[in-house]
Structure 1
């Protein structure tokens, strides 16, 4: 009998493990459902990006002779949940089993683990092999360590991947060039000009859904700010490598009023949705260094964000959940201020970060960590309040990557599991 293969909205990768042994007769299920679009009120731009990318991905699979059952959000028979759509598919056709790649959020993982009993069918949950570090490898690395410092994990990932390595040692003899990456943006500096994203007819279709069903969500979707195809994401990667990466290192910690992106890549939304993979992005950056198109401090800093931070927070999330989300080291209890939504505050740095967030479903890491995050720490904002805000407002936000970065790094709610000290603390 054939298999029913479920692809989630952040698994838009043709090499995803749930598709690995696809055979004729199998059916791939992809569904835009209310339970995933509204468990928090995601930014309109995030929904526009994901629904559009999902529809394009389904088209690509169909073009490769893969049978796809696609459920649109505005389908009158849409059940509103992934479980409901699996149930419908199982009622309509006999399947031997359901195959899915492990998801990125604890709440959905708990639901998926119940599907075998609920549907009385074998449910095969496969490892997500798009990551460099398996969850088992991370647990082994973390075992017995009192503090889980990213720097030491990052070195293990460099050894495993061979990125920026030579004969078992880091090229140039240094692991980390962070000290070289803290320059201020010079006056009258010319930033690279980003190409405008080309919209597709699918984007326009999805925009009408957003206008009809997500009108009260944060942000806007009047223009599409993210590529919604694999080819488009690759073009964004190519532009970053050639135009922005050379000075990314020097100015990655800089801020400038009215400048939303600076030299940042904005590739995280594509990585986290699956349109790009971690290793291809890192290898492209490494190649730029080897070809002398980008300096080592820029390339190392960029690669560290991906095989260091990104892999590290995923491992920590799955190691520590669900209790991790409940920790509150400083017993912070204040509600999130209204200006996190409106931007109406005399604090210019907050105002600029919120404007960028509202307009683009994006803010670079200094705006997130040192501005909106550090204010929440200083003001004693309840972890649940600020964690949910980050999950709502950014196009690249999924709980596995958002929660540790916010909870552990920005507001120190985990009491130092990740960070050596709160960001509001002095060096002493």
Structure 2
């Protein structure tokens, strides 16, 4: 059985632990030339290497971790043709096709990291002349039965985007539970040391984003339980003292393939449905979407004190349910910017052509 070559955005169990895949050796390639192709942000490089190395450690003897200058050289070291899932960039797709023609790749399989494959998307696109995200999301909600009541959307409206553009409140933070953050380990420490010799921009660390499947599950549960209710109304808000506002910070695990988009969709849908039935006061805002690699389902509201620990401005008293506590604001990521966007790209630096 041919080994399975994984790109750095294909690291989840839905890629390597399904029927037909779980018995294959897994090949992970760290390309020196790809790392140095241009000056990437250091946090992005850290996420790419941390994700691949964590998966290699998790798989143990099943994984073959190859360090080489270029991908061709790495696959030649493997010594037999590999199978690979469709890459998510045109450059990587062209590379894989060249390697297939040269006999280093035996087969190219549909990618399981999206809610639907390229072929299924092409079937939806057909010969239509108008491409609107709204049309696509409606089709995917019907396809996967997300927040649907038979043939109609729950509540009679396809989206509540107009209700989800509340300006930020006139206080320093949203006063909700802060985002989930992983605990770094010796793999992260080694990655940080190895990046000292790689040209990059920005500051690395601490790691703010989930990069393993186990971490992604924790981050998803935390978001759904503690932050989802505020995401809808303040989805477009930016606050200088609350860099994450109510965002999930799930784009990294989604883009690296350690979290499947439909897992996020269904978790949020279930929580939103439960919230809508709750007697607690809440705003009527919400939205749902499905499809693509960063699909999500979001039902917003405003429920104070859902999780208890509510970060506030320094020395500011804030009420969480029946308790009153003093919290400090959530710190920003140390990446030289107030936005986590510097590190939310997929693992393209070692997984692209």
TM range (shorter): 0.7 to 0.9
Residue 32 of structure 2 corresponds to 34
Q: SS of the residue aligned with 1:113?
A: helix
1:21 partnered with 2:4 = no
Residue 340 of structure 2 corresponds to 362
Q: By how many angstroms is 1:151 displaced?
A: 0.5
Q: By how many angstroms is 1:22 displaced?
A: 3.9
Q: By how many angstroms is 1:141 displaced?
A: 2.6
The answer (yes or no) to whether the contact 1:233–1:276 under 8 Å persists in 2 is yes
* Gap change, CA 1:23 and 1:226, over 3 Å in 2: closer
The answer (yes or no) to whether the contact 2:42–2:203 under 8 Å persists in 1 is yes
Q: Which of 57, 60, 72 is the matching residue for 1:59?
A: 57
Worse overlay, 153-162 or 132-141: 132-141
Pairwise mapping of residues 74-85 of structure 1 onto structure 2 (< 5 A)?
78-85=67-74
Q: Which of 188, 198, 215 is the matching residue for 1:213?
A: 198
Residue 327 of structure 1 corresponds to none
1:4 partnered with 2:36 = no
Deviations 1:27-47 (A, max 9, x none): 321122123323342211111
Residue 133 of structure 2 corresponds to 150
The answer (yes or no) to whether the contact 1:105–1:398 under 8 Å persists in 2 is no
Q: By how many angstroms is 1:122 displaced?
A: 5.4
Q: Give the TM-score of the pair, scaled to structure 1.
A: 0.65
Residue 64 of structure 2 corresponds to 69
Pairwise mapping of residues 292-303 of structure 1 onto structure 2 (< 5 A)?
292=275, 300=287, 303=288
* Gap change, CA 1:227 and 1:394, over 3 Å in 2: closer
Residue 299 of structure 2 corresponds to none
The answer (yes or no) to whether the contact 1:52–1:206 under 8 Å persists in 2 is yes
Distance 2:248 2:233 in 1: 14
Aligned CA RMSD, in angstroms, stands at: 2.7
Q: Which of 213, 226, 230 is the matching residue for 2:209?
A: 226
* Gap change, CA 1:308 and 1:136, over 3 Å in 2: closer
Q: SS of the residue aligned with 1:242?
A: helix
The answer (yes or no) to whether the contact 1:164–1:170 under 8 Å persists in 2 is yes
Deviations 1:253-277 (A, max 9, x none): 1122232110011101000101111
Q: By how many angstroms is 1:53 displaced?
A: 1.6
1:203 partnered with 2:178 = no
The answer (yes or no) to whether the contact 1:269–1:396 under 8 Å persists in 2 is yes
Residue 220 of structure 2 corresponds to 237
> Structure 1 segments of 4 or more deviating over 3 A?
17-20, 293-299, 308-311, 355-361
Q: SS of the residue aligned with 1:250?
A: coil
Judging by fraction of residues, say which structure has more strand: 2
Distance 1:254 1:158 in 2: 26
Q: SS of the residue aligned with 2:108?
A: strand
Q: By how many angstroms is 1:59 displaced?
A: 1.9
* Gap change, CA 1:144 and 1:397, over 3 Å in 2: same
Distance 2:187 2:294 in 1: 30
Q: SS of the residue aligned with 1:87?
A: helix
The number of equivalent residue pairs is 306
Deviations 1:211-264 (A, max 9, x none): 2223xx121113222233222221111111111110101111112223211001
Q: By how many angstroms is 1:309 displaced?
A: 8.5
Deviations 1:122-149 (A, max 9, x none): 5200001232222223223323322211
* Gap change, CA 1:84 and 1:154, over 3 Å in 2: same
The answer (yes or no) to whether the contact 1:12–1:275 under 8 Å persists in 2 is yes
Q: SS of the residue aligned with 2:236?
A: coil
Q: SS of the residue aligned with 1:52?
A: helix
Distance 2:2 2:250 in 1: 33
Q: By how many angstroms is 1:13 displaced?
A: 1.1
Q: SS of the residue aligned with 2:269?
A: helix
Gaps of 5+ in 2: 296-332, 349-353
